[in-house]
């Protein structure tokens, strides 16, 4: 993907962690986010979208939703995102597949049919 969002609008340094995979004794795929995982540092915009406490009965009251905008692509659907924000290290997992964002004006100007940037909906990994 050609960088479409200017760097000055992507002030946050995040790490995209793509897990290593192994197979357990039952034949199941196991995802490893430890030292064997691939880590890539990318520029992004991080934004907390859900700022209210969830009050539904049985819901996790610490649940949060975040938006990440980046020029980095592709992002594996099983990737995790590590970001040291104002409150310290946060680890996110994707909440749905990464979404390519298209901008018809930019596509016409550049003569391109590719996506403008990637948007990811994230939730905090707890535990």
Task: Kindly report the pTM of this predicted structure.
Answer: 0.82
Domain membership of residue 53 (yes or no) is yes
Dump pLDDT digits (tens) for 22-55.
Answer: 999 999 999 999 999 999 999 999 999 876 665 6
- Do residues 63 and 54 touch, judged by C-beta distance below 8 A? yes
Going from the C-alpha of 120 to that of each of 29, 103, 126, the distances in angstroms are 24, 16, 18
The domain of 106 spans 7-14+43-124
Domain membership of residue 29 (yes or no) is no
- Do residues 38 and 17 touch, judged by C-beta distance below 8 A? yes
Domain membership of residue 34 (yes or no) is no
Beta strands 88-94 and 117-124 are antiparallel
Domain membership of residue 78 (yes or no) is yes
Domain membership of residue 26 (yes or no) is no
Question: Which pair of tokens denotes residue 79?
Answer: 């990737």
- In the chain, helix, strand, coil percent, each to 5? 10, 45, 50
Domain membership of residue 2 (yes or no) is no
């Amino acid at each position: 993907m050609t960088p479409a969002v200017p760097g000055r609008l992507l002030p946050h340094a995040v790490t995209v962690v793509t897990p290593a995979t192994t197979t357990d004794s039952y034949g199941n795929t196991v995802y490893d986010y430890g030292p064997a995982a691939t880590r890539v540092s990318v520029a992004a915009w991080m934004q907390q979208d859900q700022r209210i406490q969830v009050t539904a009965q049985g819901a996790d009251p610490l649940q949060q939703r975040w938006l990440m905008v980046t020029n980095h692509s592709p992002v594996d659907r099983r990737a995790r995102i590590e970001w040291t924000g104002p409150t310290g290290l946060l680890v996110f997992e994707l909440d749905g597949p990464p979404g390519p964002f298209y901008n018809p004006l930019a596509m016409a100007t550049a003569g391109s049919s590719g996506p403008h940037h990637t948007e990811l909906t994230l939730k905090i990994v707890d535990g």
